[in-house]
Amino acid sequence: MKRAQSASLVVAIVLSAGIVQAQTRIDEKSVEQTLFVGPDAAMADDTNPGTAEDKPLRSLQKAIDLAVGIPTRIVLLPGDCRESITIPGGESLLVIEAQKVGESAISGSDLFTHWTEAQGVYEHAWPHDFGPMLENHFNIDWTPLQRRRELAFIDGKALTQVLTRDELVDGAFCVDEVANKVYLKPAFGVDPRTARVEISVRGAEPYGQERNGALVFIQDRANLVLRGLKVRHTMCAIKQAAVSGKARNLLVEDCNFDWNGGIGCDLQLVGATFRRTTGNWNGERGLGLGLSSQVLYEDCECTNNNWRYGEKINGHDSAGFKAFWKNSDITFLRFRALHNNCSGMWFDWDNGPITIRDSLLEDNRVAGLNYEANRHGLLLSNCVIRNNDNGLMFYGSANVKVEKCAIYGNRKTPDQWGHGGSQIFLYADDRVVKKGDWAQQYLSQGYKVSEGDWHCVLEDYSITDCILEVTEPNQFLIHGGTERADITIGSTVQWCKAIHSDRNTYFDPNTDKGFLNPIATKTWEDDFPQLTLQQWQTRTKQDLNSRWMATDLEAIEDPTAANHVPKTE
């Protein structure tokens, strides 16, 4: 990841498809002062003016306070700012950047030194009493271990948390708040007395209180640049983010929001651009948005998220990237969502238009893309969606265009009803998105659809010039089945009326049938693909120029490869 060379950067992005996307305009020539922060520098002191690199400030918050009302560039020298940061509201330009990309961090951890050892277990005084997460999010029976929030690292490598000293294995740690001790058992050959040991101590606020776990809290700031920074090791938990708040005209370049207990970065934005930025290895989610508009993610990545909470939260909140409620004009170019223990991308309730181009969604649980209850438009172009539990999951959404995409090998272990993974999974029920309210309403519970409400139905889908291929038994090309026959039939009927498809290549080595039957009755058998391509063409007049044939899947290239973001620790 290379730092931009120009001192002046003006960004204005407009994409095709008739949708104006992210618009971030930053003129760095307006900077009037430059301040230096060196948390590890020998001459660092908050009594310094901070204007000289050899006599920097020690605290980033001190520099931010000195920047109020003055267009300012803050340069972080290599090292870790071990403090919680508040960026106050205002309009004057504020640039916070690392002197060397990736060598400056805002950390929720502290260094722990002077360990004592007994029989391979090391111990250190623990002066904190954070306790477990008390909230019962989603009415789930969280285990005592899932309620813990601490993180520990030796030379940048994460340790596994356990509850008691007796449970320690190589590469594990535990906190004993009764004995006021923290214990760890390092991997073979690692000595904590000489290694760099970091343990999280910031971000443990209760949900919805104070900073809500944020290490960096942005108070409705306009004209903000974050560049070359790492934000890591925050103790935030479910529905809490290491970086949170509101911003307008935001530029984020070459930043890593990695290894936080909850979410890496989750903001409300108007006009923002993220470039070469990661949200990796977070306990719940990587990156996210809410109530945002005109945002661009370019060459960004979310990988290996939801390692802390797992299956319990997959239907509730976790994702590599998640946009929740009323996000519009959001664009992804060369986006990577890989190896997440949850959906790679999830657009949840009343979002759009969304554009995703030249992106890779691979090896994610639940789905590569989960598109739920959205009606304002999705364009998915030149993307590869492969080896997820399901490829594309369309849940009561409309106005979707999929073009020039390769969707294949999406699989999961068959569930109790025999359903395996699908290249396209469909779901439609009686839910309604109530105008101005994200809460769920159900027709079956007597709710009446009012003007402006959105009944979660499948409408207006276009699939052209795509590859859809099954690679293993128990996979489906297109599947609309659940344990409920009424939902199965509803999804099937809606899909067959909604779809416009042509010039696609389909294949399933296990059968010559892969299409839903537009003439559906309420029998269990209608849950499964019923028709051959020829029968589908005859009955629906769709896919008249499509083919049923195998593709050389190994020849399909990663559309993000030319601008691959380097992996972080």
DSSP states along 90-157: BSS-EEEEESSTTSEEEESEEE----EEETTEEEEE-----------GGG----TTTT----EEETTE
C-alpha 63/C-alpha 49 separation (Å) is 9
The answer to which of 134-148, 244-258, 294-308, 551-565 has the lowest mean pLDDT is 551-565
The model's confidence at residue 253, banded by pLDDT at 50, 70 and 90, is very high
Q: What is the pLDDT of residues 533-567, one digit of tens each?
A: 999 999 999 999 999 999 999 999 999 997 665 55
Handedness of CA 150, 155, 157, 160 (dihedral sign): negative
The model's confidence at residue 12, banded by pLDDT at 50, 70 and 90, is very low
The model's confidence at residue 419, banded by pLDDT at 50, 70 and 90, is low
Do 428 and 552 sit in the same domain of this protein?
yes
Mean pLDDT of 348-362: 97
pLDDT recorded at residue 488: 72
Report if residue 56 sits inside a domain: no
Do 427 and 549 sit in the same domain of this protein?
yes
pLDDT recorded at residue 429: 83
Domain that holds residue 447: 278-563
Do 341 and 487 sit in the same domain of this protein?
yes
Report if residue 157 sits inside a domain: yes
pLDDT recorded at residue 9: 33
DSSP code for 14: -
C-alpha 398/C-alpha 381 separation (Å) is 17
pLDDT recorded at residue 465: 98
Between residues 558 and 419, the one the model is more confident about? 558
Task: Write down which residue in 147, 167, 200 finishes a domain.
Answer: 200
pLDDT recorded at residue 335: 98
pLDDT recorded at residue 564: 60
pLDDT recorded at residue 356: 98
Residue 433: both structure tokens together: 């998105």
Mean pLDDT of the chain: 91
pLDDT recorded at residue 18: 39
The model's confidence at residue 474, banded by pLDDT at 50, 70 and 90, is confident
H or E element in which residue 63 lies: helix 60-66
- If we measure between CA atoms, which residue out of 384, 414, 392 comes closest to residue 495? 392
pLDDT recorded at residue 7: 33
Domains of the chain: total: 2
Q: What is the pLDDT of residues 364-418, one digit of tens each?
A: 999 999 999 999 999 999 999 999 999 999 999 999 999 999 999 998 877 655 6
Do 441 and 294 sit in the same domain of this protein?
yes
Report if residue 232 sits inside a domain: no
Mean pLDDT of 489-493: 83
Task: Write down which residue in 172, 200, 228 finishes a domain.
Answer: 200
DSSP states along 215-240: SEEEEEEEEEEEESEEEE-----TT-
DSSP states along 358-385: S-EEES-SS-SEEEES--S-EEEES-EE
Q: How far is CA 21 from CA 331, 382, 403, in A?
A: 6, 18, 19
Do 192 and 284 sit in the same domain of this protein?
no
Do 313 and 412 sit in the same domain of this protein?
yes
pLDDT recorded at residue 1: 34
Q: What is the pLDDT of residues 161-203, one digit of tens each?
A: 999 999 999 999 999 999 999 999 999 999 999 999 999 999 9
Q: What is the pLDDT of residues 74-100, one digit of tens each?
A: 999 999 999 999 999 999 999 999 999
The model's confidence at residue 24, banded by pLDDT at 50, 70 and 90, is confident
Report if residue 23 sits inside a domain: no
pLDDT recorded at residue 5: 32
Report if residue 132 sits inside a domain: yes
Report if residue 326 sits inside a domain: yes
Task: Write down which residue in 181, 200, 219 finishes a domain.
Answer: 200
Report if residue 351 sits inside a domain: yes
Do 353 and 461 sit in the same domain of this protein?
yes
Reply yes or no on whether the pLDDT at 569 is more than 90: no
Residue type at 488 in one-letter notation: T
C-alpha 267/C-alpha 292 separation (Å) is 8
pLDDT recorded at residue 418: 62
Reply yes or no on whether the pLDDT at 21 is more than 60: no
- If we measure between CA atoms, which residue out of 32, 36, 82 comes closest to residue 56? 36
pLDDT recorded at residue 483: 53
Report if residue 78 sits inside a domain: no
pLDDT recorded at residue 563: 66
Q: Which CATH number characterizes residue 139's domain?
A: 2.60.40.1180
Do 177 and 310 sit in the same domain of this protein?
no
SS3 per residue for 438-507: CCEEEHHHCCCCCCCCEECCCEEEEEECCEEECCCCCCEEEECCCCCHHHHHHHHHHHHHHEEEECCEEE
DSSP code for 186: P
Query: How are beta strands 531-532 and 285-290 bridged, if at all?
Result: unpaired
Contact of 331 with 352, CB cutoff 8 Å: no
pLDDT recorded at residue 481: 62
pTM of the model: 0.94
The model's confidence at residue 439, banded by pLDDT at 50, 70 and 90, is confident
Mean pLDDT of 238-242: 97
φ/ψ of residue 233, rounded to 5:
65, 25
pLDDT recorded at residue 241: 98
